[in-house]
Amino acid sequence: MINRYTLSPMKELWTLKAQYERWLEVELAVLTAMEKLGEVPTGTLAAVKKTVRIDLPRIQEIEGEIQHDLLAFIRSLEEQAGDAGRYIHRGLTSSDVKDTTLALQMRDGLNIILEVAYRLQEALLKKARQYQDLVMVGRTHGMHAEPTTLGLKLFLWHEEVGRDIQRLERALKTISVGKISGPVGTYSQVSPEVERLTCKNLGLQPVRVSSQILQRDRHAEVIAAIAITGATLEKMALEIRNLARSEVGEVEEPVPEGSSSMPHKRNPITSERICGLARLLRGNLQAALENVALWHERDMSHSCVERVIIPDSFLLAHYMLVKMTTLIDRLVVHKEQIQKNLDLTKGAIYSQILLIELVEHGMVRSKVHEVLKAASKRALDTNTSLLSVLNDDPQVAELLKEQKIDEDALLERLRATSHRIIGHE
């Protein structure tokens, strides 16, 4: 991923140096297990730990000669470790190290993502409570429907992010596994006990069964959870963009960007960027799903794909969550414009509430529907409130007066509903 869309601490997790450090961590964990079980001479681990380090230039030099990154890494360690080096990578295959390392990276990456997702969820709840009394236009098909509150809109997002968190937590459990079972997963040269102890030392669970590799349905599940989270963020960003349009103007990004040619412009570029990056996450999911089916015990078709889609998905998801959290924290809300838009239909957006009231007090539903439809059009045509137009009908006017139905009463109903749904737990 280009630096423009990478943030700490996620970007440090996916560097080449970090990958080599994880490879070394896995190799040392295997030696720890083998020495404990008496499968290598006592003192092997101490000798290796004392002498080896990550030598990037040497690893790359060797890889240039033999065209195998893991083998180049192992040979670099052997050169440094002397006689103890012959026990490094004993009985293992490359995927034991690579897949277990990738699981560690994805585990730690998910924990970083979850930390920001928790913050976003908290920010949404705080804003939902702050604006639970702010009545605004609800829209369906892009048209004014019934009033809602800004608090309810934000609380809806809070709940959806909560489901994203649940998916990410399930994916975290799925990917927190390791595999130290040798070629094609048969433990031909390494014991299951080594795998168990190695995974324990790394904070992973050993898989019950593997082939040469960890099965890629696990990785697809992680990328799916990330992609769905991206879709949630896109949904939020798209709504912010729509509410920020010049014709609507109800909310605004904290730092909208201008135009190089038009000084008046205030563009919602952060929201637009989130919407665009969500497309990449969905594309990465397609590739992750295609990685599940491989030839026999494994082939290499998945490897080159994962070098791109896994780091990029984690980096993008982290970036998007951080940006959305900041956006929500500092969201600019234009209350006067919200009220102005609420008044645009002259009260017609209260038509269903009025319909139900009139039906419950004796009027025929079909007749009330026609009365309100006609009254709503007349209110718009004459620039008069719907309640004023309805008061011209003696039967309706009497009922409205009797039930003390006015605009303030209708707004209070909405606010009460908003309070009940959001709550204060």
Residue 405's pLDDT band (cuts 50, 70, 90): low
pLDDT of residue 308: 96
Whether 2 has a pLDDT exceeding 90, the answer reads: no
pLDDT above 90 (res 328): yes
Give domain 92-338's CATH superfamily.
Fumarase/aspartase (Central domain) (1.20.200.10)
The percentage of residues in the chain with a pLDDT greater than 90, rounded to a whole number, is 74
**Does residue 245 surpass a pLDDT of 60?**
yes
Q: Each residue of 120-165: pLDDT tens digit?
A: 999 999 999 999 999 999 999 999 988 899 999 999 999 999 999 9
State yes or no: pLDDT of 413 exceeds 90. Answer: no
pLDDT-derived band of residue 217, with 50, 70 and 90 as boundaries? very high
pLDDT band at 261 (very low <50, low <70, confident <90, very high): confident
Domain with CATH 1.10.40 in the chain: 347-422
Average pLDDT over residues 288-311: 94
| Residue 406 pLDDT class (50, 70, 90 cuts) | low
What is the pLDDT, as a whole number, of residue 301?
92
For residue 403, pLDDT beyond 70: no
Q: Which of 57-61, 87-91, 270-274, 414-418 has the lowest mean pLDDT?
A: 414-418
pLDDT in tens, 358-390: 787 777 888 878 888 888 888 888 888 887 887
Across 189-206, average pLDDT: 96
CB of 58 within 8 A of CB of 120? no
347-422 CATH pick, 1.10.10, 3.10.450, 1.10.1060, 1.10.40: 1.10.40
Task: Please report, rounded to a whole number, the percentage of residues in the chain having pLDDT higher than 70.
Answer: 97
| Stretch(es) of the chain classified as CATH 1.20.200.10 | 92-338
pLDDT digits (tens, 9 = 90+) for 275-294: 999 999 999 999 999 999 99
Question: What pLDDT is attached to residue 257?
Answer: 77
Encoded amino acid at 170, one letter: R
Residue in 94, 97, 116 with CA at minimum distance from that of residue 105: 97
Quote the strand ranges of 247-298, DSSP E: 251-252
pLDDT for res 363? 76
Number of other residues whose CB lies within 10 A of the CB of residue 110: 24
Instruction: Share the mean pLDDT of the chain.
Output: 92
The pLDDT of residue 209 is 94
* pLDDT mean over 108-122: 98
Residue 55, CB half-sphere, CA atoms under 13 Å: how many?
18
The arithmetic mean of pLDDT across residues 217-245, rounded, is: 97
Catalytic residues, by residue number, are 141, 259
pLDDT at 424 over 70: no
164, HSE (Cβ side, Cα atoms, 13 Å): 28
Cβ distance 409 to 390 under 8 Å?
Answer: no
Q: At what angle do helices 44-51 and 69-81 cross, to 10 degrees?
A: 100
Give the contacts of 253 (CB within 8 A, at least 6 positions apart).
240, 244, 268, 269, 270, 271, 327, 331, 332
pLDDT of residue 85: 93
**H-type alpha helices, 67-143:** 69-81, 94-130
CA 324 to chain centre: 10
pTM: 0.92
Tokens 């002397």 label which residue? 82
- The position carrying tokens 């039967």 is 395
Q: Is the pLDDT of residue 425 over 60?
A: no
Which stretch of DSSP H or E encloses residue 172? helix 150-175
Q: 109-113, 211-215, 360-364: which has the minimum mean pLDDT? A: 360-364
Q: How confident is the model at residue 357 (pLDDT cuts 50, 70, 90)?
A: confident
What pLDDT is stored for residue 323 in this prediction?
Answer: 97
Inter-residue contact 251 to 243 (CB < 8 Å): yes
What is the reported pLDDT for 421? 81
